[in-house]
Amino acid sequence: MQKLSVRHLLGIKGLTENDIQLIFETADNFKSVINRPIKKVPSLRDITVANLFFENSTRTKLSFELAEKRLSADIINFAASSSSVSKGETLIDTVNNILAMKVDMVVMRHPYPGAAVFLSKHIQAQIINAGDGAHEHPTQALLDAYSIREKLGDVRGKKVVIVGDILHSRVALSNILCLQLLGAEVMVCGPTTLIPKYIHTLGVKVEHDLQKALNWCDVANMLRIQLERQDIRYFPSLREYSMMYGLNKEILDSLDKKIVVMHPGPINRGVEITSDVADSRQSIILDQVENGVAIRMAVLYLLAGGQN
């Protein structure tokens, strides 16, 4: 069996292009599995996975849980608000308590950047980062790239624009790194106050005019505006944001090519994209969700198989 070059999936940083291709090929197999009448395989039997969610999540948690169940893993779930944890038990203690019950893998969502990296230095179990603050969300980036590959045949050479709150987005960072590793060109687009000053050091193009960005791209990934992540106001109102960066059918139809529209969910309908765009044939939003399970199955499976 081919193996990954890493022991944990902490981020796209640290992965090689071969790792990603291996994850994609493995996901291809699992995608056919989950479309069969019997959706379950015994690959992770006897493996216990702890899903530790220190921050609210619905879809990522469901997607991981489903992936684990389809692989026949045993699962325990832990949810805590970060505030109650930061007041009391430390992260290492919390996780070690759970690991004392003989857990093999940890899937963790955490509000602080670097939490998964930090944990990997202090515990034995294998870790999958399910999102750490504004740092990384590797499985989201993998499923996004996988969905582009599925829709357009290949990621290499494609032009992808990520629109929205780049400053607070782990999805943006992981997507940039993943798409670049696979040979795509990446642009970020959003209000000047939501684009990190040094984003150009990652080798991405920066555009503040949505129309221009869309004219340039093959794929538009419309990020969710996460007001809950903003400690201060970075733009005057959602209404104004939507006026400048909302994607509607009119704009979409004005483009001279049929671009692919993506969204990591959950959608604020009428803010980032209008319903007619979200539900249009150019949108692959629901494919992303389906591919999410296959990608997470592939990651769990490959990590359980050990490191190269």
Partner 1 sequence: MKLLLKSVKVVDPNSPHHGKQVDILVQNGTIAKIGKSIKEEGIRKLEWKGAHVSPGWLDLNVNFCDPGHEPKEDLKSGADAAAAGGFTAVALMPNTQPPLHSKSEIEYIRNKAQAYLVDVWPLGTISRDKEGKDLSEMYDMKSSGAVAFTDGTQAVQDAGLMSRALLYAKGIGSLVMNTGDDRSISQKGKMNEGEMSTLLGVKGIPALAEELMIARDIYLAEYNDARIHFSNISSARSVDLIRAAKRKGLKITCDVSVNNLYFDESALHDFDSNFKLRPPLRTSQDIKSLKNGLKDGTIDAICSQHTPEDKEHKEVEFEIAAYGSIGLQTAFALACMSLQKSMEIESIISCLSQKPRAILGLEPVSIREGAKANLTVFDPEKEWSLAASDILSKSKNTPLIGARLNGKALAVINNDQYKLTS
State in angstroms the smallest separation of the CB of 54 from partner 1: 10
Among 179, 111, 167, smallest CA distance to 141 is for 179
Give the span between the Cα atoms of 57 and 259, in whole angstroms: 29
| DSSP per position, 78-111 | EE--HHHHHHSS-HHHHHHHHHTTT--EEEEEES
Task: Kindly tell me which of 95 and 252 has the beta carbon lying closer to partner 1.
Answer: 95
Among 6, 115, 117, 12, smallest CA distance to 55 is for 115
Task: Kindly tell me which of 140 and 291 has the beta carbon lying closer to partner 1.
Answer: 140
Task: Establish if 189 lies at the interface with partner 1 (CB under 8 A).
Answer: no
Task: Establish if 265 lies at the interface with partner 1 (CB under 8 A).
Answer: no
The single-letter DSSP state of residue 200 is G
Name which position in 1, 231, 233, 256 contacts partner 1 (CB under 8 A).
231
Give the span between the Cα atoms of 104 and 87, in whole angstroms: 27
Task: Establish if 13 lies at the interface with partner 1 (CB under 8 A).
Answer: yes
Q: What's the CA angle centered on 177, arms 297 and 294, to 5 degrees?
A: 15
Task: Establish if 201 lies at the interface with partner 1 (CB under 8 A).
Answer: yes
Among 94, 129, 90, smallest CA distance to 110 is for 129
Task: Kindly tell me which of 50 and 273 has the beta carbon lying closer to partner 1.
Answer: 50
Name which position in 34, 72, 74, 196 contacts partner 1 (CB under 8 A).
196
Task: Establish if 192 lies at the interface with partner 1 (CB under 8 A).
Answer: no
Using the structure block, give the residue that is written with the tokens 């291996």.
22
Find out whether 219 and 262 touch, Cβ atoms under 8 Å.
yes
Contact letters (x/-) for partner 1, 123-142, by CB under 8 A?
---------xxxxx------
- Binding-site size for partner 1 (CB under 8 A) equals 30
The tokens describing 258, both together, are 């049929």
Task: Establish if 110 lies at the interface with partner 1 (CB under 8 A).
Answer: yes
Give me the residues that bind partner 1 (CB under 8 A), please. Answer: 13, 86, 90-92, 110-115, 117-118, 121-122, 132-136, 170, 173, 196-199, 201-202, 231-232
